[in-house]
Amino acid sequence: MTQASYYRPIVQTDRHRPNGALTLAGGWSWFTHVEKLSRGAPPEVIPAALVPEAELRNFVAPRGLICGLAMDKPRIMGILNTTPDSFSDGGLHSGFDSAVARGFDMAAKGADIFDIGGESTRPGAAFVPAEDEIARTVPVIAALRAGGFDLPISIDTRKSEVAEAALTAGASMFNDVTAFCYDPKSADVAASHNVSVCLMHAQGDPKTMQDDPCYDDVLLDVYDHLAERVAYAENHGIARGQIVVDVGIGFGKTIEHNLALIRGMSLFHGLGCVILLGVSRKGFIGVIGNAPEAAERGAGSIALGLEALRQGVQILRVHDIQDTKQAIALWQATL
């Protein structure tokens, strides 16, 4: 699904907004000009009025509710890995009691969505059978719901049978790092439960994705892939208003690929979907910021998250909920 031209809003948040400026995605930022991009041609800055009507409509239309949450303010998705080998918190919450307690702790600290996964997707991670994923995640979801936990719960999996079990137990979102490419039944499972979905771009699988990632143009290649996956989801009965897209930072990408995607993040508003950014504690932050231990990368994670919010990204997927919430509050106070 390659386009002839692509349009990236040049996003601003300054309070001195000129007449005629357009609000981006019903949110907190605005734009008057866009960067027009084409494969094999230099970029060109043009007035927003010259953008084709269909693309412009996607830029300005307010986004739908995700898990019942309005997307007119930044949202925090808290991460819980119930795995022994996740890159940042592997083993910390792999026990049942610890995982349940962590869920309530995230809610108390201000998370908007709770994302639970039972298979590590760190570079080099091994495959986990569906029955093991279910055993790691579904009892936690059921216990949280039985205990009165009322945050939306997202199940982070690429397997339809895991999603089916989690959604039946009380999850309200299907977060698939393969954008429904891995399991042909996944889109139908999501549609049958009428839940929000997150479609992420990944090149390769966790075992091999960082061996030698290569793109013609990473920004446009990722956009084309996500456009195709959004269309696929719609064709399976999932409304665009229920779809979140994620560029997949670190999933088959070099440091330069990651930075190019973050710089150009506003391009993805052209899909007409909510955008999620997941950079929390990832390895490239440690390389650039001289932080070899994952737990030391909170500041770098927040810095990138605030840049994403400046570009209108609606959801940040993070480990450090309380620090991120504080940073967002201070950032919002300056707008």
The encoded tokens of residue 324 equal 């991120």
pLDDT at 209: 60
Residue 94 confidence (pLDDT) above 60 = no
pLDDT at 84: 73
Residue 126 confidence (pLDDT) above 80 = no
Q: How far apart are CA 234 and CA 4, in angstroms?
A: 22
Task: Give the residue extent of every domain in the chain.
Answer: 63-333
pLDDT digits (tens, 9 = 90+) for 35-62: 999 998 999 999 999 999 999 999 999 9
pLDDT digits (tens, 9 = 90+) for 197-239: 999 999 977 666 677 789 999 999 999 999 999 999 999 999 9
pLDDT at 213: 87
State the CATH class of domain 63-333: alpha beta
Residue numbers annotated as active site = 282, 317
Which string of DSSP letters, residue by residue, matches 123-178? TTPPP--HHHHHHHHHHHHHHHHHTT--S-EEEE-S-HHHHHHHHHHT--EEEETT
Residue 161 confidence (pLDDT) above 60 = yes
List, in order, residues 6 or more apart from 49 with CB less than 8 Å away.
none
pLDDT at 87: 45
Mean pLDDT over residues 137-153, rounded?
Answer: 97
Mean pLDDT over residues 55-79, rounded?
Answer: 97
Q: Look at the block and give the residue holding tokens 């639970």.
A: 116
- Buried b / exposed e over 214-234, threshold 16 CB at 10 Å, is eeeebbbbbbbbbbebbeebe
Q: Look at the block and give the residue holding tokens 């936690």.
A: 140
SS3 assignment, position 159: coil
Kindly report the average pLDDT of the chain as a whole number: 94
pLDDT at 86: 47
Residue 166 confidence (pLDDT) above 70 = yes
Give residue 311's pLDDT band: very low, low, confident or very high (50, 70, 90).
Answer: very high
Side by side, the strands of the sheet bearing 6-9 are: 6-9, 33-38, 41-47
